[in-house]
Amino acid sequence: MAITDISHRKRFLAQGNVYLPHIAVIEKIIEETPGVRTLHFNFKDEKLREEFTFESGQFGECSVFGVGEAPFCISSSPTRRNHLEFAVQRAGRVTNALHRLGVGAEIGFRGPYGNSFPLDLLKGKNLVFVGGGIGLALLRSLIWNVIDNREKYGNIDIIYGARSPADLCFGYDLDAWDKDKAVNMVITVDRGDEGWKGRVGLVPKVLEEVAPSASNAVAIVCGPPIMIRFTFPVLVKLGFTPEQMLTTLEKRMKCGIGKCGRCNIGDLYVCRDGPVFTYAQIKDFISSEY
Ligand code: FES
């Protein structure tokens, strides 16, 4: 199988000034872990709320007024349109400010930007999702999209891990997928604790043990750089070709629209050419740059 064209992108840019954010209101906050929260938000403008569309894999720039803006993938699924979601890990000025906001606070959002997961090319395939930590935020939009259209896809494997039980994000999704008979869900942690009865082991090692078949399959990988780097060789060992492996990157993005030059990996811009890439596209850069 060849996934050759994933460079398509649909953009919803503000008229005139492309840096102008739309005003949105935080409607709900879910504390995923001590350092990660999910924000549910909606646009204030009713027309925009109805007309806004995006695809799984796309991202937007969120701003906290008076502080700054940062890129976040849209972690909710386009099949569930009553609000939008993104997950925020405390890491700097903007993310700390987003952790201080409460329900009802206003934020800015511009986007969606970037390409998306190639749904047409995933149709009829068995899908193997491999995620680590907050990387699941980038996968869950596609996972729910696939589950909501399950007749179009084959088997669904999800292998997800975090450093510790307390670092597992989206526990409500993990529970739902675990109960779903159409999904083979495997959860692992690097280190257990006294209450942990589940699997212990690094994601690449657990992937090798689970050994999903590469036949008519596509693997979609997202997590910390170190996990991504060690996961691809395992997939190769399992028989996946570089075209059968997808990942989505969030690297040093700033403007989100190909202007600032901060997000390059080799000669690719993550914001403009991605954030979804095949391993074939990035394998020459992944060990040195990611
Ligand atoms: S984020 Fe500015 S060029 Fe990609």
- Per residue in 113-152, pLDDT (tens digit) is 999 999 999 999 999 999 999 999 999 999 999 999 999 9
Average pLDDT, the chain: 91
101 C-alpha to ligand 1 centroid (Å): 26
Question: Residues lining ligand 1, judged by CB closer than 6 Å?
Answer: 253-256, 258-263, 269, 271-272
User: What's the angle, vertex CA 40, arms to CA 71 and CA 261, rounded to 5?
Assistant: 5
111 Cα–ligand 1 center, Å: 13
Nearest to 117 by CA among 268, 221, 6, 231: 6
Pocket of ligand 1, candidates 110, 262, 277: which has the most ligand atoms within 8 Å of its Cβ, to mutate? 262
Closest approach atom of ligand 1 to CA 260: 2
- Which range is least confidently modeled, 94-103, 161-170, 269-278? 269-278
Among the listed residues 146, 129, 158, 7, the one whose alpha carbon sits nearest the alpha carbon of residue 78: 146
How confident is the model over 162-188, as pLDDT tens digits?
999 999 999 999 999 999 999 999 999
Length of the chain in terms of residues written: 290
Residue 181: how many other CB atoms lie within 10 Å: 5
The Å distance, Cα 124 to ligand 1 centre, comes to: 34
**Buried residues in 62-74 as b, exposed as e (16+ CB within 10 A):** bbbeeeebbbbbb
